Structures are given as structure tokens and as C-alpha cells.
Chains A and B, each alone.
Chain A
Amino acid sequence: MSRKVRIAQLSCGPEYSGVQKEIYDAAGAVGAEIFFPDIALADVERAVEEFGLDVRSADLKLMIARGLALVDGKIDADGVFIGTCFRCAEAAIVRNELRRYIPEHSRLPVVSYSFTERTTAGTLLTRMEALTTIARRRALLAREEQTGITMGVDSGSSTTKAVVMRDDEIVGTGWHPTTEVLKSSDSAVADALDMAGLTREDIQAIGTTGYGRFLVGKHLGADLIQEELTVNSKGAVYLADHQRGASTVIDIGGMDNKAISVIDGIPGTFTMGGICAGASGRFLEMTAKRLGVDITELGPLAMKGVGENVPMNSYCIVFGTQSLVNALAAGSSREDVAAAACHSVAEQVFEQQLQEIDIKEPVIMVGGTSLIEGLVYAMGQLLQTEVIVPPHSQYIGAVGSALLASGFIKGE
């Protein structure tokens, strides 16, 4: 059995929030162990002075001292988990600055989270899995070329995608709405194989990702079952042909959003989540439905409109929909409403998530929502940069899985 990945926890408030056990459980579920860097009390104030961030909470001072000890190499760790209470401004400042400081001054992967008493191990699982993968599988993540015949399946919350690759090329794709997880997966796989002109027996290795990755992975006998943060990062830089250097990957999904700062194809810092469904692809689906257009038509429609003409705030999907109905009732055009909905989603992702990572160009948008050009345009406007949407961007997780799975072909 491989050595446990040691994750250093820098935190303020998890015990008194009653969630420390959830952090332990999430780490334990992915073969990692949490530890608290051993610090001398006498070193705490000195470290705070050295760091230069004058905070009042003693636990935040302790976080800073531990962060500096990790960077200085006084304490060994494979990864860092930074957690503080949600809604604490003082803690948010320390959390953000440490999240930036540690990767800049070391090779340690970092994940951060602001918790409430309702945070569960399940919520933290994907983040912990990504953290341990980056620590444990650097060699696998360094893979830049797909070899042999492999298949990737992305069992997402809205859709299930399958991709068959052969000798570094996509030769088959399949896409189905996620209804029954295994049935949707079987349908997507069948379509991808059919398009590739291959059978299951021809496939040399399989990778799965997405919410249904464990179930589908077991069903297909997958060689690699991997969370979507690392897989999507790989898929994005591979498809965008930007495997070396820095980039930023944005995936606005059906149920949550991911913003990942990538270096040489490996996630550095990332955030995952969204305050409300109002910042997800689901809101755009609802908008399309209300406007009486297919989701594929929403993007072109939005490009004809002016979002500023319609006041809309999608922080909550219910109020966002209310804004939408009100605007239409007040005589706003469908084009303007479509543009406003796209801007609203992009703005929320920008405000809630992109502030938490360092945006480095190129910015690559992936996932099904990257095909909504109005959304891509809105994001580009907010970031004041050209956003790249690579070919097959909607299959990103499946492509990343197929690429990484080729590392499991016998003899590789």
C-alpha cells in the first residue's frame, strides 16, 4: 500500500465549528492524513512580524507561523489545506494571502475552503482528492500525449460525456443528459465507440471523472477514477495546446463551478463551488427555457443583446428568474435578457471565485457552458482578456480522463 499523503492543516475555527471530524474523514477517504505543523508558541509572533500581516486572532497568527514553517522547509508535507470560518473577513484575508504565498514560495499544492457548521466530508472530498492526486501523481499528471486506444467518461450532474482517443486524436464522442447514471454512461459510451468504429474490447484503458465517477468507474472496470479538477486541467491545456507554462481554467458546470490556476498542466490553486445555482449552467438552462429557445441558441441570442439594459442579479436562482420574468414583462427584448443572464452568471463567478485564484493568461473556458458564446463573451469582458474555448471543450473531462488513462496501458 502506498504511503499516506500528509496534508498540513492551517485553519481557524474548524473545531469550534464542529467540522474537524469532517476534514479528517474527507482526507481519510482519499488515503491522506491531516496533521498540524508543530510550532513553538514563542515563534508565532515572530512569524507574524516576518509575514507582515498584523492580525488579532491568535489562531490566524498560528496559521501564518505554520505557513511560513512549511515554506521554509522546517516541516515536511505533501499538500496544504487552509480552512477558515465562512463570513469572517479577518480570516478571509489570511486565507487568501497564505493561499497565494505558499505556492509562490514552494512546490506545495494548496486547497482552501471557508466552512460553516454544515460543511460535510462529502463537500470536501473532491478538493481533498485533487490535493492528494497532485501530491501523489505528479508523474501521471505530467503526461502530455495520449497513446494507444483509451476511453474517458465524464459522468456530470447534467450530462454524461464519453470520448474515445487513438494515438493522440479524438476518434469518437458521445453525449447524453444524465438521468440514470449508468444508463446515461452506457449510451454515451456506445455512441463514442460507434463513431470511432471500435468495440469495448479494443479499448486498452479507461478513465472516469465527474460526480458519478465511482459508480461508472466500477461499472466499466476503469483503470483511473479521478476527480474533475485535475482531469479538467489536463484536458483543458491539452485541447488548448498550452501544456507548458501558466494558464487559468474556468468550468461553469451544471451544479458547481471550478476555477483552476494551472502550471504546466498541474493545478496550482483552485476553487470549487458557487454561492447559488444562480451562478451555474442550470440558471442558463432555465433562462433558455423561459425565453423559449434551445440552450444551444441562447449564446447567439445573447450576442445580439445588450445586458446592461436589463437589471439582473442571479445570486439566487429564484430571484434571478424573477428578474428575468420582470424584465420580459416590462418589455425587454429576449436578446437583452439572454445577454443579461450570461453577464449575471459570469459576474458571479468572477466575484465569488475568480478573486480567489491568480488569473494568468491564457484563460481557457471549458465544459458545456463554454459553448454559450454570450457567456464566454461576458467573461472576457469582465476579465478584460480574450477567453480561449478549445475544440471539444464540452468533452473536457472525458478527454482529460482518456489522456491520463493512457498512462495505465500495460507496458506504459
Chain B
Amino acid sequence: MAKVFIYPATSLILSDLVARFGHKPLGAALGIRERIQTAGIDSPPLQITPEEPKRGLKYAAVEVPSGVRGRMAIYGPLIEEAEAAVIVTDADLAFGCMGCARTDELILFSLRQSDIPILELNYPANEEEGVQFVAAIKKFLAGLPNGDEA
């Protein structure tokens, strides 16, 4: 079983796919809702304290906005822990999304800098692409150490 970081970290679909193939998904496990009644699109389930942005200084300098550092305090350790990553770019908001584009840039950069296998895919635009999308993820996950067939 490999620890696989998923991006967008809030994607329940990606999280489910990774788990189905016998790996451990590393993400936020937040569902993006049809109606948004919280402060942000990916609001954390628990109150984050001002300590998180300070912990985030490990991943981003002090001149980086506090929201980015607060997010990195959560995602930074997961990226360090990750043994592989599946990155889906230009995803539909409903597929899973993260509120801050600057954090996204830093997360993707950090993943690409780490020496782990990464699968990068564009979000599918039609059914045919959707089939290829799932097949590519399946092949990638099956190739990771101790991956299972779903």
C-alpha cells in the first residue's frame, strides 16, 4: 500500500479511486457541496487557530499570505509523507477544488520537487476522455508497490 497525495485534495472521487486500488489517499476528505454556506469553498471542518499559519512557515516564507501558510500547515506534512501523487488540473469545481490558487501552485511545485511517482492529468471534457482518465489512474495506481486491483 502506498500513500498517495491527491490533487485537488478535496476530491472525494480521487480519494475513493485511490482507496479502491488498495492505497491510502492523502487529502482533505472534504466534500464540495452543491450549496456553499460556509466561509470558503473548502472550509475546514474544525476551527484553525492562528498557530497554523505560523507552522506553515516551514513551507512558505513570512511574506506569503497567512491563508497560504495556514493551508500549507495542513498539506505540507501530507506532501512530505506522500509516496506518490495523482494530480488533476483544470478540474470542475464539483469534482473537488481548493479555495486558494496560490496554495495550489505551491502544492503542485512541492509535489513535483519531491522524488515520487506522479500522474498528472487534465480533467476530462467528455465521456471518452473520462474513460481514458479513469484507465490512466487505474494503471498508475496498479503500478505502485502493493497496489490492489479494484
A positions within 8 Å CB-CB of B? 9, 11-21, 36, 38-42, 44-45, 55-62, 85-88, 90-91, 115-118
B positions within 8 Å CB-CB of A? 32-44, 47-54, 63-71, 74, 93-94, 97-102
- B50 touching A45, Cβ below 8 Å: no
Q: How far is the CA of A117 from the CA of B42 in the complex (A)?
A: 19
- A62 touching B67, Cβ below 8 Å: no
- A88 touching B102, Cβ below 8 Å: yes
- B66 touching A12, Cβ below 8 Å: no
Which residues of the other chain, B, contact A20 by a CB distance below 8 angstroms?
A: 39, 47-48
Q: Is the interface of B mostly helix, strand, loop or mixed?
A: loop
In the complex formed, the residue of B with least CB distance to A115 is B66
Given A16-B71, A18-B70, A41-B36, also A90-B101 (CB < 8 A)? yes
Given A13-B65, A91-B65, also A117-B70 (CB < 8 A)? yes
Selected from B40, B51, B97, the residue in CB contact (under 8 A) with A18 is: B51
* Cβ-Cβ contact count across A and B, 8 Å cutoff: 136
In the complex formed, the residue of A with least CB distance to B49 is A18
Closest Cβ of chain A to B100, distance in Å, is: 5
Given A59-B100, A88-B67, also A15-B43 (CB < 8 A)? yes
Q: How far is the CA of A336 from the CA of B44 in the complex (A)?
A: 55
Selected from B35, B65, B70, the residue in CB contact (under 8 A) with A41 is: B35
Which residues of the other chain, A, contact B63 by a CB distance below 8 angstroms?
A: 87
Which residues of the other chain, A, contact B48 by a CB distance below 8 angstroms?
A: 15-18, 20
27 CB < 8 A contacts A-B: A11-B40, A12-B99, A14-B67, A16-B44, A16-B52, A16-B99, A17-B65, A17-B67, A18-B48, A18-B53, A18-B66, A20-B39, A21-B47, A36-B39, A38-B37, A40-B34, A41-B32, A41-B34, A41-B41, A58-B97, A59-B40, A62-B40, A86-B65, A87-B63, A90-B102, A116-B66, A117-B53
Q: How far is the CA of A36 from the CA of B41 in the complex (A)?
A: 11
Closest Cβ of chain A to B103, distance in Å, is: 8
Closest Cβ of chain B to A266, distance in Å, is: 28
Selected from B44, B66, B93, the residue in CB contact (under 8 A) with A44 is: B93
Which residues of the other chain, B, contact A61 by a CB distance below 8 angstroms?
A: 41
- A39 touching B40, Cβ below 8 Å: no
Selected from A11, A17, A58, A86, the residue in CB contact (under 8 A) with B93 is: A58
Closest Cβ of chain A to B16, distance in Å, is: 19
Q: How far is the CA of A60 from the CA of B42 in the complex (A)?
A: 12
Q: How far is the CA of A40 from the CA of B51 in the complex (A)?
A: 32
- B53 touching A36, Cβ below 8 Å: no
In the complex formed, the residue of B with least CB distance to A34 is B39
- B100 touching A16, Cβ below 8 Å: yes
Q: How far is the CA of A165 from the CA of B63 in the complex (A)?
A: 49
- B50 touching A117, Cβ below 8 Å: yes
In the complex formed, the residue of B with least CB distance to A18 is B50
Closest Cβ of chain A to B105, distance in Å, is: 9
Given A18-B49, A56-B101, also A13-B66 (CB < 8 A)? yes
Closest Cβ of chain A to B122, distance in Å, is: 16
- Which of A14, A39, A45 has most B Cβ within 10 Å? A14
Which residues of the other chain, B, contact A58 by a CB distance below 8 angstroms?
A: 41-42, 93, 97-101
Which residues of the other chain, A, contact B37 by a CB distance below 8 angstroms?
A: 36, 38
Which residues of the other chain, B, contact A88 by a CB distance below 8 angstroms?
A: 65, 67-68, 102
Which residues of the other chain, A, contact B68 by a CB distance below 8 angstroms?
A: 13, 16, 85, 88
- A9 touching B39, Cβ below 8 Å: yes
Closest 7 pairs between A and B when the two form their complex, measured CB to CB = A13-B67, A16-B70, A85-B65, A59-B99, A56-B101, A18-B50, A17-B66
In the complex formed, the residue of A with least CB distance to B70 is A16
Q: How far is the CA of A61 from the CA of B32 in the complex (A)?
A: 15
Which residues of the other chain, B, contact A91 by a CB distance below 8 angstroms?
A: 65
Which residues of the other chain, B, contact A60 by a CB distance below 8 angstroms?
A: 101
In the complex formed, the residue of A with least CB distance to B52 is A18
Given A20-B47, A45-B93, also A62-B66 (CB < 8 A)? no
Q: How far is the CA of A16 from the CA of B49 in the complex (A)?
A: 8
- A15 touching B40, Cβ below 8 Å: yes
Q: How far is the CA of A372 from the CA of B51 in the complex (A)?
A: 43
Given A13-B67, A15-B40, A17-B70, also A118-B98 (CB < 8 A)? no
Closest Cβ of chain B to A335, distance in Å, is: 38
Q: How far is the CA of A87 from the CA of B99 in the complex (A)?
A: 16
